[in-house]
Structure 1
Amino acid sequence: MARQRTPEGPPPPPAVQKLRIRYAKRGRLRFSSTRDFSRALERALRRAGVPMAFSAGFHPHPLISYANAAPTGTASEAEYFEIRVTERVDTDALREALDEALPAELAVVEVVEAGPGTLADRLEASDWRIVVRGAERAALEEAVAAYLALERAETTRTFKRGPKTFDTREPVCRMVVEGVDPEGCAILRLVVRHTTPSVRPDDVLTALHAVTGFAPPVPPLVTRLAQGPLLEGESGVADPLATDREAVGSDR
């Protein structure tokens, strides 16, 4: 029986602090994938001198976890990841150093020390802003009213295991045309509960076209404004890092 190999050298230093970080993905970098961001992030962490904690074993990797990333092609003001470090760091100083080390269109918005509980459990829903370019507000409002009157609005998307049909209507907590942008394009706001499979803004627009015939003349501009716990009445989402700030504040 072959002997099991063990890594040579001492084990990696233990993690002493877990941090939760909110960042924004803007401009052209909305087309970057989670893998693209992870590569840019690891380079930025090294440049910023962050004392990252690593896993043990033959192929150690930084202890970084990502939470519910936005689809490629959408901008976001509310992306999150967690990182463990081997020395305690000042969160404000880390935010500034990491923000400076990342490309300009990837902005580090906030760094907090993690409190009790898991971040993923707090990300219950997302608030989306969709600029429907080339669409008249009245036509969009009529389509939205017809969509909201339905009990189900299905769409089909292809996953790794093949195409899957699912309902987009039930997870939509709020859907309203809230005005127009400076160029006269209608603005649609969506609050969508996180489900499995996840219902994305493009899924809702595809279902909207299927049941009402409405289709944007050109691809819309989609931005996630926030994600977090559902507010009472399911009209919006709360800040998922508020609990962490309170926990750290109570310890001081």
Structure 2
Amino acid sequence: MRAQPEQQAPPVQRIRLRYAKRGRLRFTSHRDFSRAFERAVVRAGVPMAYSSGFHPHPRISYAGAAPTGSASEAEYVELGLARPVDPEEVRAALDAALPDGLDVLAAAESPGGSLADLLEVSRWQLAVTGAELGTVQDAAAAFLATDEVTVERMTKKGMRSFDCRAAVIELSVEDPGPGIPGAIVDVLLRHGTPAVRPDDVLRGLREVGDLPEDVQALQRRIAQGTYDETTGAVVDPLGSTDAP
């Protein structure tokens, strides 16, 4: 009879971290990041709790990862620890162990509950190129005036059509600055199923506006968390607030 695996003790503390993906590291996939992060945990000497079973894994929970190619200032991960540690010590040690561009920005002890349940919305900034500012502004006005904007995207289950307009809570267009072509699109997206991504919104703007087919945008997530309906702010799981 095969020996039963050793049962691991449950975590005695959970710490939530907010980290950023910047520069060239925006092109790391979620799998790439998880591998780098697990190696950093070992190098930093974080006292991780482990799962039970024949192949124990460190208790790391990822939530709301940005699409590959997107920069972000608001990615989240939760660690289950075998002994209590000062969250700031964990943050500093992991930030030093990770490469530049994967930066651990904040840490806090988890009060309990699901981290994923606290990620209801995301605020994105799209640096649009290949279209004039006025053209993007006109497309945004047409988009906001439309009740439904259907777009298509290739998924693991094949081509899928869905309404990208329903997920958009706010959308505005700004001038990127003197001498800089294009436009800056700020969009607040509600998370749902299927998940509407920033490139879906850009595709939707193309559907309703006069944007060129080759219009492109660099995507950066500014904030992620719960949505305060009264103030329009995004409140992240660590307690800070991103005012619109």
Structure 2 length as normaliser, TM-score? 0.92
Higher deviation after alignment, 231-240 or 115-124 = 231-240
Please, which of 113, 118, 132 is the counterpart of residue 117 of structure 1? 113
**4+ residue runs of structure 1 moved beyond 6 angstroms?**
none
Conserved 8 A contact 2:107-2:238: no
CA-based RMSD of the aligned residues comes to: 1.7
Whichever structure has more helix as a proportion of its residues is 1
Q: 1:137: which partner in 2?
A: 133
**Pair 1:204-2:201 in alignment:** yes
* Mapped contact 1:131–1:222 kept (Cα < 8 A): yes
More divergent stretch after superposition (179-188 vs 12-21): 179-188
Between Structure 1 and Structure 2, how many residues are aligned?
A: 239
Q: Which runs of 5+ in 1 are unaligned?
A: 244-252
> Do residues 45 (structure 1) and 41 (structure 2) align?
yes
CA change 1:234–1:203 in 2 (3 A) is farther
In 2: Cα distance, 1:155 partner to 1:207 partner? 6
CA displacement, residues 81-126 of structure 1 (integer Å, 9 cap, x when unaligned)? 1110101111111111100000100000011100033221111110
State whether structure 2 residue 4 is matched by structure 1 residue 6: yes
2: distance between equivalents of 1:120 and 1:60?
23
Deviation at 1:160, TM superposition (A): 1.5
Once residues 193 and 10 of structure 2 are traced to their aligned partners in structure 1, the CA distance between those partners, rounded to angstroms, is 34
Match of 1:194 in 2: 191
- SS of aligned partner of 2:41: helix
Among candidates 80, 83, 88, match of residue 84 of structure 1:
80
SS of residue in 2 equivalent to 1:220: strand
Specify which of 27, 33, 36 is matched with residue 31 of structure 1: 27
- CA drift of 1:220 comes to 1.2
Measured after TM superposition, the shift of residue 218 of structure 1 is 5.0
User: What secondary structure does 1:232 align onto?
Assistant: coil
Q: Structure 2 regions of 5+ residues with no counterpart?
A: none
Note closer, same or farther for the CA distance 1:165–1:217 as it changes in structure 2 (3 Å cut): closer
Question: Does the 8 Å contact 2:130/2:216 carry over to 1?
Answer: no
